[in-house]
Amino acid sequence: MKSTKFYNVKGMHCASCAHIIERTVKKIDGVNSIVVNSGTEKALIDLDENKTSVDILNQKLTPLGYTILNTRAHDDTSLSADKDLHAEHLNMHQTKKEKLTEINELKRKIYAALPLAVFSIFIMSWEIFAKYNWIPPIPETFYNFAHHLLPLFATYIFVTIGKPYILGVYRFFRYGKANMDTLIGLGTSVAFIYSFIIASFEKILGSYIDVTYTYYDVAIVVITFITLGKYLEARSKLKTGDAIEKLLDLQAKTALVLRDKKEIEIPIAHVQREDIVIIKPGQKIPTDGIVIEGSSFVDESMITGEPMPIEKNIGARVVAGTINTTGTFNFTTKKVGSETLLANIIKMVEEAQESKAPIQALADKISSIFVPIVLILAIIAVIAWLYFGIPTLGFSTALSFALTSFVGMLIIACPCALGLATPTAIIVGVGKGAREGILIKDAATLEALHTADVVVVDKTGTITEGKPRFTKIDNKSTYTDHEIISILATLESRSEHPIAHAIVQYAQEQNITLKNMSQFAAMKGKGLSGVIDGTEYIAGNIRIASDLQLSFDTRHLDEETHSGKTPILLANKNELFAIIYVADPIKPEVIETVRELHKRKKTVVMLTGDNKNTAEYIAKIVGIDQVIAEVTPEDKLHVIKDFQDKGHVVVMAGDGVNDAPALAQAHVGIAMSTGTDVAIASAGITLLGGDISKIVKAVDLSAMTMHGIKQNLFWAFIYNVIGIPLAAGAFYPVFGWLLSPVFAGFAMAMSSVSVISNSLRIKTKKL
C-alpha cells in the first residue's frame, strides 16, 4: 500500500544531515521518494508499506544518529473526518514540548560551560595582550594554576558537552558519513588530543616543538560557542513555525449542540454533519456550516485577514475558527474535521512550509559536497603549512599554524547557515501570508510571484463583486416581460454563473414561477439551452446571435454595454425574444489595487468572456492597461500562452472555476475565494475573502521573502568565502592574518543565528 506522509526527524542539525538521510533512505527497497527539509526538521516520504516501514528506515538511520518519528501525517488516508485537527493540535504541542526539552537541555549545558569558557577567554586574552606589551604578563603562580586547570575544564567540556561531536567523528570513520558534527568533532578532537599529548610528554617534546602553548582553551571555547549557537538557533526556529500553531489554536475544543431537543456540550471530535450547533456571544465557531436561525456579526480576521466583522443572517455560511461577536444564532454543520476550511488552511500552510523553492537548489547542491571538500582543503592546508612553513618559520611554528588552520577551517566551514537560509525565510513568509488571508501552495509559487510582469485578471468576481443585479429588459417579442423572465430564469436555474444567480434572484423577488424544463445543455463560453413547453430556448452572450445568424438593431445594445451593463440574449433558432441587462458593481478596492500594481511595474490585463464594450467601460474606470473580451475558457488559456511565448512571466487571478485552465497555465495562478465554497488548493495562491487588494500584498510578500532569502544566502556564503581562506592562512604571507579557531567557532555559531534572525524580520514588516 502506497503511503506519502510527513515525518518529524530527530537528530538533524544541518543541510548535510538532510542529504545523508535522503541518500540513505533512497537506497532502501520500497521507498519511492524522500524530501528532507533541514529548516523544519521534517521529511516527506513516499513508500510502499508492503515492502518497508518506518522501523526498517530507522534501522539504517539510527546508527547514523537520526530517527524518523512515526507521527500523524497529512495524507488523505490518515486524516479522519472528525479527529484530525485535534490530533494535529496534540502532535504540535508534543513536538513543541520536545523542542522545549531540547532547548532546556542546551541551556543547562551552556550554564555549565559558560563560566569555564569565560575563564579560558580571560587567560587567552591576557596572553595575547601581554604579547604586544599592552598589559603586564601573567604572574607565574597564576599561569601555573591556569596551566593545570584548563586541561580539567577541557576534559569535562569535551567528554560531556562535546559528546555529540565525538559521535560525529566516530560515525564518519565507521560509516563514512560526515556532517556538521563531524567537522566540529574533528577540529576540537585534534585540538584536545594535541594538547593532551603536549601536556603528557612536555619534557620529551620540548626539544622539538614549542610546548608552552596548548589548545585546551580552543576546545573549551569552540564547543561552548557552538552549543550556544545551537541554543539560540533552536529558540529562533521555534518562533519561525508559530503560524500553524496559531491556526490550530483557533479550533474550538467543544461545541454546544442541540440533540433530542436538549442542549449538550460535546468535544469537537464528536460533532457530526447536520448537527445543529448553538453559538452564543464570544464563542468560537467549531465547524463549517450554514446559519438556520438568528443573526450576528462574526470576526473572520484570523481566517481572511479582514478586520471588520461580517454580518451573518439565515442562509449565510460560517467557518470553523472564526469568533462570534454579539448575537446568538444556530447553524447546521456541513463540514467537520479535515473537511473544514481551517483544516485545509493548516494543511496547505504546512505543505507550503515544507516545500523547497527553486533558489534552494544551489544551496542544496553545495551543501551535499561541502563537508568532504572542506575536509580535503583542511588537510591540504596542513600539508602546505608544513611544506612551506618549516623552511621559513621552523617546525614548531609551522606545526602550530598548521593545527590552527586545520581546526579553524573545520569549525568555520559548517554549512548550517547555508542549509537554513531558504527554508527559514519560506516558513516565515508562508506563515505571514496565512495570517493575511493569503494562502500559498508551495515555495516555488512564492518565489515566482514577484518576478511577474503581467497580471491578468478575470472580470466577474475579481474586478467586480460577482453579484450582478438585474437592471432592465429590452423585449423584442410578443411575450410579456413576466414570461420572458420566467423562461430565462428557468434556463439559468441550472447554471452556477453569477449572472444566472442574478436572473433567478430577480425572478424570486418578483414572485415569478419557474417552468418545467427538459434537455438542458450548457454551451461552454456561450450560454445554455433547454426545452420549455415544447420549445427549445437558448440564452447566452452576443455570440449566440452570431451562431444563430439572428440580426437585430444593435444601437441600444451598444449604448447599454458602453455604460457597463452585461447583455443576456434569449432566443430560439429562428427568433430573438429579448435582451436582458445586468450590472455588476466594481469592487471599491480595485482602482487602488491597479494603481499599486502599476507602481510595481506590472502590466494589468482584463481577460473576460463578457461583452467587449462592457469590459472596456470597466477597464477605463479602474485603469486597466489592456482588455481581451468575449473569450471562452479555452481562449483564456491560449491568451496566457501567448503572453508566455512573448517572454512574459504571467500571474492569472480568477474565481478558480471557469478560469481553471488559465490559472493552471499561468506561472502563478491566484484564486479569489470567499473562503467557504472554493477549493483553496485549486491555484498556486488563494486570496481568502476574494479581496483583490491582496494581490499587491502577495506580490510584496514574495519580494520581501525572496529578498530575505538572498540576504541569507549572501551572509551564509560570505562567512565561508572569507572565513575558510582566512582560517587556512591564505592571507598570512601578505597581511599576517590567521584566524583563531575560537573566533571561527563564534563566527560559525553566529552565522546560523543571523540567518534565522534575518528571516524572522519578515514577520515584523508591514504588507
Catalytic residues: 458
The cell numbers describing 410, all together, are 573545520
Between CA 578 and CA 588, with CA 583 as vertex, the angle to 5 degrees is 175
Looking at residue 322, what DSSP letter applies? -
Give the SS3 label for residue 766.
coil
Which residues on neighbouring strands pair with residue 475, listed in sequence order? 578
CB hemisphere CA count around 689 (13 angstroms): 24
Residue pair 536/570 in contact by the 8 Å Cβ criterion? no
Distance (Å, rounded) from C-alpha 286 to C-alpha 254? 7
Distance (Å, rounded) from C-alpha 235 to C-alpha 99? 9
Q: Which residues of 49-62 are buried (b: 16+ CB within 10 A; e: fewer)?
A: eeebebebbbeebe
Looking at residue 326, what DSSP letter applies? S
Looking at residue 604, what DSSP letter applies? E
Please name the residues in contact with 117: beta carbons below 8 A apart, sequence gap of 6 or more.
220, 221, 224, 225
Phi-psi region of 321 (alpha: psi -120 to 50; beta: other; left: phi over 0): left
Pairing of strands 650-654, 454-457: parallel
Distance (Å, rounded) from C-alpha 693 to C-alpha 437? 11
Residue pair 304/247 in contact by the 8 Å Cβ criterion? no
Distance (Å, rounded) from C-alpha 4 to C-alpha 354? 14
CB hemisphere CA count around 615 (13 angstroms): 20
Looking at residue 94, what DSSP letter applies? H
Residue pair 680/433 in contact by the 8 Å Cβ criterion? no
The cell numbers describing 375, all together, are 575536509
Distance (Å, rounded) from C-alpha 752 to C-alpha 447? 22
Instruction: Name the amino acid, one letter, at 155.
Output: T
Which residue in 536, 499, 541, 543 sits closest to 521, CA to CA? 536
Which residue in 463, 378, 305 sits closest to 720, CA to CA? 378
Instruction: Name the amino acid, one letter, at 492.
Output: E
